[in-house]
Structure 1
């Protein structure tokens, strides 16, 4: 198993990125319309940084994530652009490449756990990164009507808590725009044999 500490140790790099955070809406948005638009976003790409912390182990890596209606590619690189983890997921199989080895499984979650020791709810995360709650989630709103925090209670989601920040307006293919988060923090409280897990995602660019 490749532990997080073998990937990269600079957890603080996520906090020192030299990019300007986008400004959110000046006026309150219509929540129903916002969530409908977010649900329509099925093809997207994001670029940014992701920081992991689990117990005493931490890592910060560059992130490129492409999604096409559930089939996706997820690549983590170091500051030199060297690929450290590359995950591709389709209906047929999930393939993860790391440390010169290739791992294959029907589902991505077992692969991620095998390599990092973390239980990541991938299917839910595809919605959560867009600021879209899934069925059963409890969520709060910002003063502008955007999703601010959410808590998941579905058994497969293992009680993750998600907090959002720095929403920016992103152009959609049909010419309209949608508000998408540029800062996301996910926390899973300590569980038997699994210490507290924290993921911080800072998104520099959304492409729809």
Structure 2
């Protein structure tokens, strides 16, 4: 894909996304779950349980921050690892849809500004259309606090045995994930605040709602 094609696609989308200026630090956390006692289990017990979590949905907010720009949006992301499908929606604070993704296996369809784009490499497709770097494949694991690759390194909180940070050389680049504000969600201990960093890029995610569907 030429740089000219990429620039032509990116400009209108960035203008739309820039309308969303939500501040993540002010987001509310999951209702009625903040005071729940977290499950006591070893890190391996937690990993074994979360590897069985195949169907889930999160709603919240996401921000992309680098030296040149800062943009944010409302996030809705539904993943079914059993069927290998996912739906991702980014909207402005006014409810205007600026990106809609539907994936089935290695077939990905993205709608942006009324146009539809398709491809087989999801992360490359998102970047070519929006200019955003989003490690979607690994994030479906990292958001649960488990490794995507065997050599991913996880540092655990001593008292709770919950992930504190994760480091990964994903696509030959160093990614670092920080976790905060754990909640007990339908028997799973899951973080609701994430900082995902690579070089000068910082992605922040705040989850207001975790939905577990594979019970």
Q: What is the CA–CA distance in structure 2 between the aligned matches of 1:72 and 1:20, rounded to whole Å?
A: 22
- 2:153 aligns to what? 138
Q: Is the 8 A contact 2:39 2:184 kept in 1?
A: no
Given candidates 37, 62, 65, the residue that maps to 2:74 is: 62
State the SS of the aligned residue for 1:125: helix
TM-score, reference length from structure 1? 0.86
- Distance in structure 1 (CA, Å) of the matches to 2:42 and 2:69: 41
Q: Judge conservation of contact 1:11–1:59 (CA < 8 Å) in 2.
A: yes
Distance in 2 (alpha carbons) for counterparts of 1:84 and 1:168: 30
Equivalent in the alignment of 2:134 = 120
Q: Does 1:198 align with 2:202?
A: yes
1:78 counterpart = 2:82: no
Q: Deviations over 1:4-51 (max 9, x none)?
A: 742125556111124468357467531111111111111001110011
Q: Deviations over 1:154-191 (max 9, x none)?
A: 4x2621110000111111xxxxx1101100110001xx
Are the aligned partners of 1:10 and 1:58 in contact in 2 as well (CA < 8 Å)? no
The answer to whether the 8 Å contact 1:153/1:159 transfers is yes
Per-residue deviation at 1:197? 1.2
CA contact (8 A) 2:20 2:93 kept: no
After superposition, the CA RMSD in angstroms is 2.0
Q: Secondary structure at the match of 1:182?
A: strand
In the TM superposition, residue 54 of structure 1 has moved relative to its aligned partner by 2.8
Structure 2: runs of 5 or more not aligned: 1-8
SS in 1 for 2:70: strand
- Could you tell which deviates more after superposition, 18-27 or 134-143? 18-27
User: TM-score, with normalisation over the residues of structure 2?
Assistant: 0.83
Structure 1: how far apart are the matches of 2:153 and 2:37?
23
Counterpart of 1:46?
58
Q: Which residue of 2 aligns with 1:150?
A: 166
Structure 1 residue 101 displacement after superposition: 1.4
The verdict on how the C-alpha distance between 1:11 and 1:145 changes in structure 2, with shifts beyond 3 A counting, is farther
Name the residue aligned to 1:13.
23
Number of equivalences: 196
Contact 1:124 1:157 in 2 (8 A): no
Once the two structures are TM-superposed, the CA of residue 83 in structure 1 deviates from its matched residue by: 0.7
The within-5 A match list for 1:91-130 is: 91-130=105-144
In 1, are the aligned partners of 2:126 and 2:134 still within 8 Å (CA)?
Answer: yes
Name the CA shift for 1:38/1:161 in 2 (closer, same or farther; >3 Å): same
1:158/1:184 Cα in 2 relative to 1: closer, same or farther (>3 Å)? same
Could you report, residue by residue, the CA deviation over 1:103-162 in whole angstroms, capped at 9, with x for unpaired residues?
Answer: 1001211111112323332211110011112211111111310011011024x2621110
Q: Distance in 1 between matches of 2:98 and 2:207?
A: 19
